[in-house]
């Protein structure tokens, strides 16, 4: 299953992705999707029960 989204990227970031995609003979969307998949670690569903860092004390 896939979810279609629209994002706005700075021109320099898009150009980097576009150049990389061209060199890899791939489309920009798949390069960006793979980059996100590799960059964002999986988060356990147990984390849903934890408080956000912003509400925790400094202690």
- Does the pTM surpass 0.95? The reply is no
- The pLDDT score that the predictor gives to residue 24 is 98
Q: What Rg, from alpha-carbon coordinates, does the chain have?
A: 17
Domain ranges (residues) in the chain: 1-39
Tell me, what's the pLDDT at 14? 97
pLDDT at 44: 79
pLDDT < 50 regions, the chain: none
pLDDT at 50: 80
Would you state the pLDDT for residue 57? Answer: 82
Instruction: Give me the torsion for CA of 13, 9, 26, 38, rounded to 10°.
Output: 80
């Amino acid at each position: 299953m896939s979810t279609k989204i629209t994002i706005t990227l700075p021109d320099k970031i898009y150009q980097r992705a576009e150049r990389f995609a061209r060199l890899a003979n791939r489309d920009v969307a798949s390069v960006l999707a793979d980059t996100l998949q590799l960059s964002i670690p999986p988060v356990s569903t147990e984390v849903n029960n934890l408080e956000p860092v912003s509400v925790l004390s400094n202690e």
